[in-house]
Amino acid sequence: MSAVELTARAPATGEQRWLCGWGRTARSCCRVIPARDVQDVVEGLARGATPAAGVIARGAGRSYGDAAQNDGGAVLDMTGWDRILSVDTETRLVTAQAGATIAALLARLAADRLTLPVVPGTRHVTLGGAIASDIHGKNHHRDGGMARHVVALSLCTPAGGCVEVSPEADPELFYGTFGGMGLTGVVLQATVQAEPLASPWVAADVDRTEGLDETLELMAGEERHRYSVAWLDLLAEGSKMGRAVVSQADPLAAGCAPPVQGGVSRRRNAYPGSLLRGPAVEVPSGVPAGLLHPMGVRAFNAAHWRMTPRRQRGRPLALVPYFFPLDGVGDWNRLYGPGGLVQYQFVVPSGQETTLVRCFELMRSRRLPVYLAVFKRFGAEFGGPLSFPLRGWTLAVDVPAAAPGLRSALDELDEVVAGCGGRVYLSKDARLRREALEAMYPQLDGFNALRDRVDPGGVLRSDLARRLGLCRAAR
């Protein structure tokens, strides 16, 4: 991208707003500036250089913690920067601005029978946020994360202005941006390698396990499917703790889609229209604390487990509900009440299954009210110094933020995870301690050196960066 020539116009001043992540915890007051064009980004970075201010980019606000907010400083709202610029059907390359959502990209690509090779658990994430978090999906063991499929980035950095980077042009900055939580520059646009869309369906093999041992044994088997995920019941008592519904799936071959039948659910799941359709139900604001309770969630989990067939093969499932199951409930995070929720996601390396079981036992012994637990396998590590995935096992659990003893229990889990070479996902984090970060991410010094090069004045700041010492002002 060529140098930006600033025009004579009033800069976007923005407005003061209270912001939080999807977990609805750790709120902070920020000056939110809508980014209308590149000039707004350049000017925002320039103004962020003032003492104790700083600036960070924000997309859809779907990271769970405090990564996209900046208490007392500025936040660049990139959601209006959402154009899909080009789709090349021969090279299968799609170029889009940072504010384009995964849903919009998938819908546009579907017109040319293409799709994205990696998607997260919600379609409402923006492209810029997906890059900053180096998102992964149910197929990481096969296809890796976002960093494997982006071929070029346009960034605006405090030191270098607007630059184009790729694996060939400044690979350190390119890969450091994946998982870098917006601290290496503001993503303006990206070019992603798409792939053919075989079908808007998957064929899933579904198994129901009786307890944790059986779940781990099934998940540890040879991976023959492209997608693999397990829903775990961590509120079940005794030997039933860790019972699961395991889904392993592959794209359904073209021409093998199930026949269209009547019914609202089938019409709602029609692809690609379902990508841009609103949720089936909406959780209203003002949900009281305590609406979700361990006893009620335990009963729901038991019913869900019993209703799942013990063994089912080749079950056709529509893409949207399969990839994005929680998107069917609008603002589902409100169910946790005004106190919000903490999603704690960690990964432990392959060969550390004993440590993994220890983590499960710790959660049980500390009686954490885990209302949702998702378990997956990761493939090889790839990406920048703060990229989360590494070959092994990852578990994401949702817990009410007000749960008694939660902080001390998670601190203890941090020690166990770090002690075996594992780490916590920063995109989900709102409470990790600085010393734990240093133990979990061995390439942290390299990331700090990159930050010093592209942002020597510490202009790019966020609540997460200050908490964890990831910006100059906090080091």
Q: What would the pLDDT profile of 435-458 be if each residue is shown by its tens digit?
A: 999 999 999 999 999 999 999 999
* pLDDT higher than threshold 50 for residue 175: yes
Over residues 309-327, mean pLDDT = 95
- Mean pLDDT throughout 32-54? 87
| Positive/negative CA dihedral, 382, 387, 391, 394 | negative
Query: What local confidence, expressed as pLDDT, does residue 8 receive?
Result: 55
Q: Decide if pLDDT at 11 tops 70.
A: no
Tokens coding 178? 């994946």
Q: Tell me the chain's radius of gyration from C-alpha atoms.
A: 22
Looking up tokens 């070959």, which residue turns up? Answer: 391
Residue 473 confidence (pLDDT): 57
Instruction: For residue 412, count CB atoms less than 10 angstroms from its CB and return exposed for 0-12, middle for 13-18, buried for 19 or more.
Output: middle
**Contact partners, residue 112, CB within 8 Å, separation at least 6:** 87, 89
Instruction: Identify the pLDDT of residue 6.
Output: 54
The answer to whether 96 and 126 are in contact (CB under 8 A) is no
Overall average pLDDT of the 118-123 stretch: 98
Residue 309 pLDDT exceeds 70: yes
Please tell me the predicted confidence (pLDDT) of residue 266: 57
CATH 3.30.465.10 domain position(s) in the chain: 84-197
pLDDT of residue 346 exceeding 80, the answer is: yes
Task: Return the CATH class of domain 201-255+290-433.
Answer: alpha beta
Q: Which CATH class is domain 84-197?
A: alpha beta
The CA distances from residue 51 to 43, 137, 465, in Å, are: 16, 39, 16
CA-CA distance, 431 to 411, in Å (whole number)?
9
Q: What angle do CA 279, 102, 375 make, to 5 degrees?
A: 80
Higher pLDDT, 289 or 385: 385
Q: What is the pTM of this model?
A: 0.95
Task: Tell me where in the chain the CATH 3.30.70.2520 domain(s) lie.
Answer: 201-255+290-433
